[in-house]
A and B are shown apart, each in its own frame.
Chain A
Amino acid sequence: MLGYIVRRVAGFAPVLFVIVSLSFFLMRLAPGGPFDQDRALPEQVRANIEARYHLDESLWRQYRRYLEDVLRGDLGPSFRYPDRSVNELLGLGFPVSLTLGLCGLSVAVVLGGVTGVLAALRRNTFLDYLTMSFALGGISIPNFVLGPILMLVFALWLGWLPVAGWGTWRHLILPSITLGTFYAAYVARLTRAGMLEVIGQDFIRTARAKGLHEAKIVLRHALPSAIVPVVTYLGPASAAVLTGSVVVETIFSIPGIGRYFVGSALNRDYTMVLGTVVFYSLLLLISNLVVDVVYAVLDPRVQAR
């Protein structure tokens, strides 16, 4: 097992290298540069700035310089925010994105799990149709629509929660729901399908025959088997939640790293773009590894390969 993990981690390096190189050159191919703005800079001023950030060097030298810096763990200065380094900004933003992601995921699991079980137990009743319609809605409504609607209802009309911002637990509720709903809908459908499959099986009938309480049958016996597909789904879902909070972070003005992801590309903030790409790539690689390790634990055949 340990050998497997070591081999996989060693495989990160070439993948990251390709990603960094591709992003580096793609970014430079895009028209415009970090210091283009609507009022033109005097030529000398522009030259001074470019010299300061080594943008006057050949592309090849800049590339080498960047690789060396990244190897040392330095993602460089932000062009847009000259007082701060990319490392600092990512360091400040990641805990926020992580918190939001985990809360969104909890919403997904709890909301999705409960409605999925209820729908399965009351199969083909009004409750089933209702929850599954909601699930369909959850999958279909994009978060940039759901977010503002939740804001309007719970912050403006009812006044229960703040509109946007960060700092207290109350700021977390609406964004978590907005982020988690899509995944909750998936979880609900997966749980329902899993439950339906399990509930018809012999061991459940046995449990019923023994006269166990219905709640105990569901929670103790049926649920653990029913949520296996959900658990496998959670791996990619957590990666998606962590990297996919861009829209939610923008709508709710949350100081996470998602904000930098799009903004820096539009601003041609080269170092920040590369920094977020490296960071997200690493995150995805690690979460994929974790998922695979979990698979390997569940299914020894994976390990053999």
Chain B
Amino acid sequence: MKRKGVALALLFLGQLCVGMPARGAEEQVFRINNMVEPESLDPGVVTGVPEHRILSNLFEGLTTADPKDLSPRPGMAATWTVSKDGLVYTFKLRSARWTDGKPVTAHDFVYAWERVLNPKMGAKYAQQLFYLKNGEEYNRGRITDFTQVGAKALDDRTLQVTLRCPTAYFLDLTSFYTLYPVPRWAIEAHGKDWVKPGKIVSNGPFRLVRWVPQEELVLEKNPGHWDAARVKLQRVVFLPTEDGNTAHKQFLAGESDWVPQVPTAQIEAARTRAEFYVTPYLGTYFFRFNVTKSPTNDARVRKALSLAVDRESLTRYVTRAGQIPTSTFVPAGMRGYEGVRGLGFDTAAARKLLAEAGYPDGKGFPKLELLYNTNELHKVVTQAVQQMWKDSLGIHVDLANVEWKVYLARQSSLDYQIARAGWIGDYVDPNTFLDMWVSGGGNNETGWSSKRYDDLIARAACRIVNLKERMRTLQEAEQILVEDAPILPLFTYVNTGMLGRRVAGWYPNILDQHPLKYISLER
């Protein structure tokens, strides 16, 4: 009895010292491990996913993403109409207010978009607004009069947007942070400090109350938001723990409610827990071939290398997180897109192609190097593929491991033979995976070029309004890409993470986006 009393007293003292009261079910505090310190909170500046987790709750665009399938829902715009040719969008704004009480107007959008496109701003994501008529021209400095750009405030509550081409996914883009409105008066008053606590003016369901770099960032419910009745969480804490193992332990110790990443080494153990989740992600893991250098300038060699990779085994025994093997580039699950047939796994065909290219049984095959950036996953994947090529084709490929920035520099200057790569879609449409492969595209980085492919992509981008026909055209383009094989797709990424069992209103989706206004903590 006495001992129990002492234990209780100690427990009480312990609680007192911590200063952190046990969290009751009524207390709606959600702790997210954001894995990294946000680079900025300025919607016109940021480019990353961790920033999106914060900003999409701090600000609100014309549309917002549905928590289940990410389809556009009304946000600052209550309603909108689209012209028949798909070029002119007219948004009717709802009556909404900034956190300082000023109304959100169409002018705030025009100001924000001008700011991003202004060459002086040097915005990294300016291309998110190149969809606007004359957007790119303004950013290049070819025109200096912003009234020629397709964004006009017809009155305080009406925004008219004119696009360069009909863009099927434009309403998805308007929920993206680069297109958020920003408060001109706050930016003009505080300069780059405008995003700091006490100075920031925002229009989302949450507002910023604390931000200490590398320590924590805290949002609290914005009672003045138009949809505040829906918002259950009182506070949201973002932790910037960079070390994946530490972040995992923090979750296990109850210090966070959601960690959107599980270290590869912990996956086997984590899998047994109810909090573990794995969902497909809108991204493809692949290798690039340098088609300007021998031997990968020969499509037969590239196809042979691709056919010789057993992707099933790779994902089952090597990557092990539930990645989906694929030999095509566009991930499955795009609305309206059927996909194409990939090369698949066929060692006999691979050997035959290699012999046709002049290397029967791998004899006389020149020195080949596979480039990857330092990372546990890339290391095991490249090692496994190296072994598969040795076993089924009899060729030896060296592995070259370099640091991230060196890897980027070598890849973009085509200073490689084969390079591992990954691509995460910007929006839910096959175009985000396909338009990068056009001749000379900034993200092509293989030297590959196909006139027919370029034509198909250009047609799908601008000349077709019919959705079905557009998808068919894109499919045709992907077929060319797969058959000519400047790339070797390996698998579709997955999101692995740990989510507290009390969390409700959190739905798995292909971009791993989870708007906080739908989330609550249950008893």
B445, A40: Cβ atoms closer than 8 Å? yes
CB distance from A252 to the nearest CB of B (A): 7
Which one of B122, B243, B250, B422 contacts A48 once the chains associate, using CB atoms below 8 Å? B122
In the complex, A253 has a CB within 8 A of chain B: yes
Interface residue stretch chosen among B94-102, B273-281, B318-326, B406-414: B406-414
Q: Indicate if B22 sits at the interface (CB-CB under 8 A).
A: no
Interface string of A48-69 (1 = CB under 8 A from B): 1111110000000000000000
Contact with A along B286-327 (1 / 0, CB 8 A): 000000000000000000000000000000000000000000
A residues 71-88 in Cβ contact with B at 8 Å: 80-84
Q: Return the contact of B215 from the options A42, A159, A167 (Cβ within 8 A).
A: A167
With an 8 A cutoff between CB atoms, is B18 at the interface?
yes
Q: Which residues of A contact B243 (CB under 8 A)?
A: 164, 250-251, 253
Say yes or no for A117: interface residue by CB 8 A criterion: no
Asked whether B405 lies within 8 Å of A268 as measured between CB atoms, the reply is yes
Interface pair B124/A38, CB less than 8 Å apart: no
Interface residue A235 (Cβ < 8 Å from any Cβ of B): no
Shortest C-beta distance, A99 to chain B (Å), equals 13
Cα–Cα distance between A251 and B242 once the two chains are bound (Å): 8
Say which one of B40-48, B80-88, B381-389 lies at the interface with A.
Answer: B40-48
Interfacial chain A residues near B409, Cβ < 8 Å: 31-32, 36
Give complex CA distance A166, B41 in Å: 22
Q: Does B140 belong to the interface (CB within 8 Å)? A: yes
Task: Out of B120, B193, B241, name the residue touching A164 (CB < 8 Å).
Answer: B241
CB contact under 8 A between A41 and B442, given known A155-B249, A255-B213: yes
Contacts A36-B405, A38-B408, A44-B119 given; indicate if A255 touches B212 (C-beta within 8 A).
yes
State the CA gap A43–B41 with chains docked (Å): 25
Q: Give which listed residue, A50, A80, A164, A170, contacts B246 with CB less than 8 A.
A: A164
Among B14, B215, B405, contact of A165 (Cβ-Cβ < 8 Å): B215
> A-side binding surface: helix, strand, loop or mixed?
loop
CB-CB < 8 A to A51: which residues of B? 119, 122
Known A42-B127, A162-B255, A250-B243; contact A81-B249, beta-carbon cutoff 8 A: no
For A33, A255, A256, the residue with the greatest tally of chain B CB atoms inside 10 Å of its CB is A255
- Over the window 1-44 of chain B, the binary record of Cβ atoms lying under 8 Å from chain A Cβ atoms (1 yes, 0 no) is 00000000000001001111000000000000000010111100
Contacts of B250 in A (CB 8 A): 163-165
The answer for the CA separation of A162 and B17 in the assembled complex, in Å, is 12
Q: What mask results when residues 273 to 285 of chain A are scored 1 for a CB within 8 Å of chain B, else 0?
A: 0000000000000
* Alpha-carbon distance A277/B193, docked complex (angstroms): 25
A250, B242: Cβ atoms closer than 8 Å: yes
In the assembled complex, which residues on chain A have CB atoms less than 8 Å from the CB atom of B121? 48, 52
The CA-CA distance from A32 to B246 in the complex, in Å, is 29
Instruction: Write out, one digit per residue, whether chain B residues 417-439 have a CB within 8 A of any chain A CB (1) or not (0).
Output: 00001100000000000000000
Shortest Cβ distance from residue B195 to the other chain A in the assembled complex, whole angstroms: 6
- How many B residues have CB within 8 A of the partner chain? 60
Closest to A263 in B: B242
- Cα(A82)–Cα(B45), bound, Å: 8
Contact B408 A36 (CB under 8 A): yes
| B270 proximal to A (CB < 8 A) | no
**Assembly CA distance A254 to B37 (angstroms):** 12
Tell me the complex Cα distance, A160–B14, Å.
9
Complex CA gap A253/B249 in Å reads 12
B213 touches A84 (CB 8 A): yes
Known: A31-B405, A48-B139, A151-B246. A93 touches B214 (CB 8 A): yes
Please measure, in the bound complex, the distance between the C-alpha atom of A167 and the C-alpha atom of B17, giving whole angstroms: 12
Instruction: Identify which of A51, A84, A148 gathers the most chain B CB atoms within 10 Å of its CB.
Output: A84
Is A259 an interface position by the 8 A CB rule?
yes
Closest to A159 in B: B253
A35: CB under 8 A from chain B? yes
**Among the interface residues A30, A89, A253, which one has the most CB atoms of the partner chain B within 10 A?**
A253
Decide yes or no whether A213 CB sits under 8 A from chain B.
Answer: no
Given A40-B442, A48-B119: A253 and B39 within 8 A (CB)? no
A45 on the B face (CB < 8 A): yes
Contact of A162 among B14, B41, B253 (CB under 8 A): B253
CB distance from A160 to the nearest CB of B (A): 8
Q: Give every chain A residue within 8 A of B410 (Cβ-Cβ).
A: 31
Q: Which residues between 135 and 152 of chain B lie within 8 Å of chain A, taking CB atoms? A: 136, 139-141
Q: Which residues of A contact B249 (CB under 8 A)?
A: 148, 151-152, 155-156, 163-164
Check A168–B18 contact: CB distance below 8 A.
yes
Q: Which residues of A contact B503 (CB under 8 A)?
A: none
CB distance from A270 to the nearest CB of B (A): 12
- Rounded to whole Å, the gap between the CB of A84 and the closest CB of chain B is 7
Answer yes or no: B371 CB below 8 A from chain A CBs: no
* Contacts of B184-223 to chain A: CB distance below 8 A: 192-193, 195-196, 212-216
B376 within 8 A of A: no
Does B122 contact A49, Cβ atoms closer than 8 Å? yes
A156 and B253: CB pair below 8 A? yes
Q: List 11 A-B contacts (CB under 8 A).
A: A32-B406, A36-B405, A36-B412, A44-B141, A51-B119, A83-B196, A92-B212, A163-B250, A168-B18, A251-B243, A253-B241
Known A-B contacts: A31-B405, A253-B240, A256-B214. Give 6 more (CB < 8 A). Answer: A41-B442, A43-B442, A45-B123, A48-B122, A152-B249, A266-B403
* Residues on B facing A (Cβ under 8 Å): 14, 17-20, 37, 39-42, 45, 47, 119-124, 126-127, 130, 136, 139-141, 192-193, 195-196, 212-216, 239-243, 245-247, 249-250, 252-253, 255, 403-406, 408-410, 412, 421-422, 442-443, 445
Task: List chain A positions with a Cβ less than 8 A from chain B.
Answer: 30-33, 35-45, 48-53, 80-84, 89, 92-93, 148, 151-152, 155-156, 159-160, 162-170, 250-256, 259, 266-268
Q: What are the 3 tightest A-B residue pairs by CB atom distance, in nearest-first order? A: A32-B405, A255-B214, A40-B442
